[in-house]
Chain A
Amino acid sequence: EVQLLESGGGLVQPGGSLRLSCAASGFTFISYSMLWVRQAPGKGLEWVSSISGDTATTYYADSVKGRFTISRDNSKNTLYLQMNSLRAEDTAVYYCAKCISGCHKGGIDYWGQGTLVTVSS
């Protein structure tokens, strides 16, 4: 059974940093691209970032480029999102998700339960 368990969310001040983690199990982690999607309170879904299984390729939304870094540790079956220079508009539930193979032209099949990030003074 595929399981994705996010952690690391919380309250942070504007300008601060936070690192989200997503522990994966139930599949061969290195074989699949992964991504992060966020959802601001009461709003729709927004793609944030994607990473290939071999870590060679990463993509970012313009809204987070230069501030967020996606990475993965295939030895630990864990996906990360390092978030720096946080802004109020980054407040959202952050979901990690598994892609069917690659994310580009592959699609998403499984989602984690999400972790809430609140940026406020």
Chain B
Amino acid sequence: IQMTQSPSSLSASVGDRVTITCRASQSINNYLAWFQQKPGQAPKSLIYASSSLQSGVPSKFSGSGSGTDFTLTINSLQPEDFATYYCQQYDSYPFTFGGGTKVAIK
């Protein structure tokens, strides 16, 4: 299953609302996760099952979608949110990741 993220990069300002999309090449039901990765760090799990927040993740992050189209929304962007975001499907093996979306400061 191919996972296509868009955009591959974006520039935003502190306080902005940002939306990242992820499209699967076939239905993955809601078995979609989102991860955040900062330079030199391991990925951090944000969302699983398309819209469920991992423990400790602030509610400014939200996910939605089912089937083939999914979105990650970040409200009120803060300096610590500038990072690369990846989606991943775990509906079927081999698990696959999107190419990533780099969120940079405008």
Contacts and interface: CB of A to CB of B under 8 A. Distances in A.
Interface string B83-99: 00010101111111111
A95 B43 contact: yes
Given A103-B90, A104-B90, A108-B33, A45 B48 contact: no
B33 A61 contact: no
A44 B95 CA distance: 13
Interface residues of A, number: 24
Contacts of B37: 45
Given A105-B90, A109-B54, A45 B45 contact: no
B91 A105 contact: yes
A95 B54 contact: no
Contacts of B44: 111
Contact of A107 (B42, B90, B96, B99): B90
A6 to B, nearest CB: 9
Given A47-B94, A59-B93, A107 B43 contact: no
A23 to B, nearest CB: 15
Contacts of B95: 35, 47, 50, 103
Nearest to A105: B31
A37 B90 CA distance: 13
A102 to B, nearest CB: 9
B88 A109 contact: no
A110 interface: yes
A47 B54 contact: no
Contacts of A53: none
Given A45-B100, A62-B94, A108-B90, 12 more contacts: A37-B43, A45-B35, A59-B93, A59-B94, A95-B43, A103-B95, A105-B90, A109-B54, A109-B55, A110-B45, A111-B44, A113-B42
